[in-house]
Amino acid sequence: MKDSDAVSVEVDEVARQRAERAKKVTWVGFVVNAILSLAKVIAGIVGNSGAMIADGVHSISDFITDIIVLVFIGVSSRGENENYRYGHGKFETFATMLISFALIAVAIGLFISSASSISDAINGKILPEPGMIAFIMAIISIVTKEWLFQYTRIAGEQINSTALVANAWHHRSDAFSSIAVLIGIGCAMFLGENWRILDPVAALIVSIFIFMVAWRLAVPSIKELLEVSLPNAVNEEIGNEIKNVDGVRAFHHLRTRKNGNIYIMDFHIKVDPSLTITAAHDIADNVEKTLKHKYGASAIVNIHIEPYKG
């Protein structure tokens, strides 16, 4: 088997394992969200808590992001073909962008509903008193969603999946939403009707936090889809790796971008003009191996060779 064939098999196997891990983690979240959403809505109805019902509806939005991740992670693990010469990595980036937009929509919806409730309370409307079942359900929701956040985030960072990390933050946004509900329900139950306004106030603060998280997820994914260059620090690091390879006299025209979790690098290297084509190619091959060792076997490295003239 040729070295290139061995590398291709290795890359495909890594991509397959990465996709399987992502799917497993997302399916766990999907099942937990299904049970939790139904339990929240029932607890909200039985416990006379509009906030808990709203929190249950918020949890249902996680279904959407779980489905997005399940679909797009599977697609992004595919290798290159006639239509996608650089592979399908940007499908995962696109999924991350969709998740961030879903988070923004949730944040705006929470902000509007919270502001409306605050306005009603200021104008003298008495908010309903929730029952103990809603209070207990809020605690269960916080613990469950925080566990899901940690479980999904760790897996996403281990396999370098922006979509999984984005979905993890969606889990945490649900946990913060439940914290707001817990505060509101607790105040309404134990401090009296004059304190019930704290429920929508806390929810409004949480909605702002969710928006900030969503924005931090949206910007990098949008930049990647627009093929913005890698950060300057990464470009400098790549340049140092290239210069340190024996036989490279200089390099220029470095262009970088990302395709999902894959780095793409295009550049020219300058070598001794007296070298044979074979020797010059060996230098370029060493540069490619060095960069793949540094940034992963799936990194795409395109090198143009030029004679060094001083």
Q: How confident is the prediction along the chain (310 residues), in pLDDT tens digits per residue?
A: 455 555 555 556 666 777 788 778 888 988 898 899 889 889 988 987 767 877 777 777 666 666 777 776 666 666 666 776 666 667 777 887 888 888 888 888 878 887 888 888 888 787 777 789 989 999 999 999 999 999 999 998 888 887 788 888 878 878 887 888 888 788 878 887 787 787 777 778 777 877 887 888 888 888 888 888 888 999 999 999 999 999 999 999 999 988 777 889 999 999 999 999 999 999 999 999 999 999 988 888 999 999 998 7
DSSP lists the bridge partners of residue 268 as 252, 304
Q: What whole-number distance in Å separates Cα of residue 174 and Cα of residue 103?
A: 10
Closest CA to 308 of 275, 267, 265, 266: 275
Buried b (16+ CB within 10 A) or exposed e, 192-225: eeebbbbbbbbbbbbbeebbebbeebbebbeebe
Indicate the residue type of 72. Answer: F
Domains of the chain in start order, with CATH, are 3-225 (1.20.1510.10), 232-307 (3.30.70.1350)
Name the nearest CA neighbour of 92 among 27, 35, 15, 40: 15
For the entire predicted model, the pTM comes to 0.64
Residue 264: enclosing H or E segment and its boundaries?
strand 262-271
Backbone angles phi, psi at 290, to 5 degrees: -60, -45
Residues 6+ apart with CB under 8 A from 105: none
